[in-house]
């Protein structure tokens, strides 16, 4: 099939040709935001799931949905090593400047901009990465104590009042939220709590790896009441079919039924893998329908492509010892695994490898579904580890 027309698009955060299987969640978040906007309470949302399940594209879609009903949004991605205040400040500024052009919100938005000025000045010492343009002078006493938890609460309160004044809501979209430091996460949760108590139209729609839920609970015990935690997983069988078939259908290309079955089973319904398989199957086929032998040719290429990109980027960030730890996990199968079993595979004690495990959790490679359990955050990573470190040399390293 013409590669120029190939509709599939594997890639982190790349919007798919068909966002399959997420309508119900999209709708529930749309309703939650619309409720907030008319002054009704609703919960913030933290979407949790493994790498490649489609959290980022869903987050962006939800943001578009919110903007479409006139809600003000900001969008940040928490990379490792940058502070939350530094990420939020410039985005908040843009949102507040926009709100300051709404006649009814103008004065309150300007007050919030003063709050932002005080916030940035007072926290600059602690968070030297804060860089934000200041439009107005600070108002003494507004968000300028130098204590993140107090100041962020005051700032979001002021921003929420401006949004309310403009008959709108402010929704903060945050991706990769698991990377935010616990104290900063605590401050964010506490600020949201205050907005909820004041019935201000502010909420967070966040996304992150599965450890996020535990991190939020550790940061503030009442996080459980403030958030919904929808789990984003592989697509159901029918949604996975749709993700493959619909984009082709739009281009008058069909699939033989066994070809679709084969892709759904090889990818286990994981969105990233569906895009990769769809892409290679399309290129392998010479005519419609795409059949099973096209898929067979595609499988080898899809696996190779994943190994070189999706899996590889994570692998390359690991130290040699971390690679051994992950390889030992893979030896035990897909997981989750008991820490004791992993330690035994490496002929070490649980205590000796605990720092290694913590480091891997920090890097977002593994997580702990239950106390003492360890699982990969990347689907099918065990199979990749066996491909990239075959044999048993790793045991004696």
Ligand X SMILES: Nc1ncnc2c1ncn2[C@@H]1O[C@H](COP(=O)(O)OP(=O)(O)O)[C@@H](O)[C@H]1O
Task: Enumerate binding residues for ligand X (CB under 6 A).
Answer: 9-16, 18-22, 49, 51-57, 243, 271-272, 274-275
Residue number with CB closer to ligand X (50 or 108): 50
Instruction: Output the DSSP codes for 57-116.
Output: HHHHHHHHHHHHTT-EEEEEE--TT--HHHHHHHHHHHHHHHHTTSGGGHHHHHHHHHHH
In the complex, the smallest distance separating the C-beta of residue 234 from ligand X, rounded to whole angstroms, is 10
Report how far residue 100's alpha carbon sits from residue 21's, in angstroms, rounded to the nearest whole number: 38
Tell me if 84 sits within 8 A of 94, measured CB to CB: no
Q: Which does 313 bind (CB under 5 to 8 A by kind): Mg ion, ligand X, none?
A: none
Tell me if 180 sits within 8 A of 84, measured CB to CB: yes
Residue number with CB closer to ligand X (18 or 331): 18
Which residues, 41 to 100, sit near Mg ion by CB under 5 A?
Answer: 55-56
Residue number with CB closer to ligand X (275 or 374): 275
Which helix (H) or strand (E) segment is 276 a member of?
A: helix 271-284
Cis peptide before 126 (omega within 30 of 0): no
Residue number with CB closer to ligand X (42 or 56): 56
Report how far residue 139's alpha carbon sits from residue 228's, in angstroms, rounded to the nearest whole number: 35
Report how far residue 348's alpha carbon sits from residue 206's, in angstroms, rounded to the nearest whole number: 37
Q: Which does 218 bind (CB under 5 to 8 A by kind): Mg ion, ligand X, none?
A: none
With CB under 5 A, what is the number of residues at the site for Mg ion? 2
Chain Cα centroid distance, residue 309: 18
Whole-angstrom CA distances from 296 to 284, 299, 386 are: 9, 5, 21
Q: Which does 11 bind (CB under 5 to 8 A by kind): ligand X, Mg ion, none?
A: ligand X
Which residues, 292 to 311, sit near Mg ion by CB under 5 A?
Answer: none
In the complex, the smallest distance separating the C-beta of residue 16 from Mg ion, rounded to whole angstroms, is 13
In the complex, the smallest distance separating the C-beta of residue 71 from ligand X, rounded to whole angstroms, is 21
In the complex, the smallest distance separating the C-beta of residue 51 from Mg ion, rounded to whole angstroms, is 7
In the complex, the smallest distance separating the C-beta of residue 245 from ligand X, rounded to whole angstroms, is 11
Q: Which residues make up the interface to Mg ion (CB under 5 A)?
A: 55-56
């Amino acid at each position: 099939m013409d590669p120029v027309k190939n509709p599939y698009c594997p890639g982190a955060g790349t919007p798919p040709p068909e966002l399959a299987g997420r309508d119900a969640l999209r709708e529930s978040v749309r309703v939650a935001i619309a409720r907030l906007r008319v002054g009704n309470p609703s919960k913030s949302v933290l979407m949790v799931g493994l790498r490649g399940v489609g959290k980022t594209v869903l987050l962006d879609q939800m943001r578009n949905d919110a903007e479409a009903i006139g809600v003000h949004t900001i969008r940040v991605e928490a990379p490792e090593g940058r502070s939350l205040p530094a990420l939020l400040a410039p985005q908040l500024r843009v949102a507040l400047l926009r709100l300051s052009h709404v006649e009814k919100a103008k004065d309150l938005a300007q007050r919030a901009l003063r709050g932002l000025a005080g916030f940035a000045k007072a926290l600059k010492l602690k968070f030297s990465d804060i860089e934000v343009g200041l439009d107005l002078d600070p108002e003494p006493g507004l968000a300028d104590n130098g204590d993140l938890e107090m100041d962020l609460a005051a700032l979001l309160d002021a921003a929420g009042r401006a949004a309310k004044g403009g008959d709108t809501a402010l929704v903060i979209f945050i991706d990769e939220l698991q990377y935010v430091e616990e104290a900063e996460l605590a401050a964010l949760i506490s600020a949201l709590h205050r907005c909820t108590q004041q019935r201000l139209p502010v909420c967070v729609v966040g996304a992150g790896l599965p450890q996020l839920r535990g991190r939020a609970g550790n940061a503030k015990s009442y996080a459980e009441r403030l958030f919904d935690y929808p789990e984003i997983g592989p697509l159901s069988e029918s949604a996975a079919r749709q993700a493959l078939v619909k984009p082709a259908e739009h281009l008058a290309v069909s699939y033989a039924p066994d070809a679709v079955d084969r892709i759904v089973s090889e990818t286990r319904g994981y969105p990233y893998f569906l895009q990769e398989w769809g892409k290679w199957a399309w290129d392998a086929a010479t005519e419609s329908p795409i059949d099973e032998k096209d898929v067979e040719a595609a499988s080898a290429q899809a696996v190779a492509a994943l190994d070189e990109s999706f899996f590889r980027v994570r692998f390359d960030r690991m130290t040699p010892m971390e690679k051994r730890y992950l390889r030992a996990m893979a030896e035990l199968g897909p997981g989750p695994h008991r820490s004791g079993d992993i330690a035994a595979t490496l002929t070490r004690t649980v205590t000796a490898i605990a720092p290694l495990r913590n480091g891997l959790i920090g890097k977002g490679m593994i997580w702990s579904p239950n106390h003492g359990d360890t699982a990969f955050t990347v689907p099918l990573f065990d199979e990749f580890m066996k491909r990239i470190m075959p044999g048993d040399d790793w045991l004696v390293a």
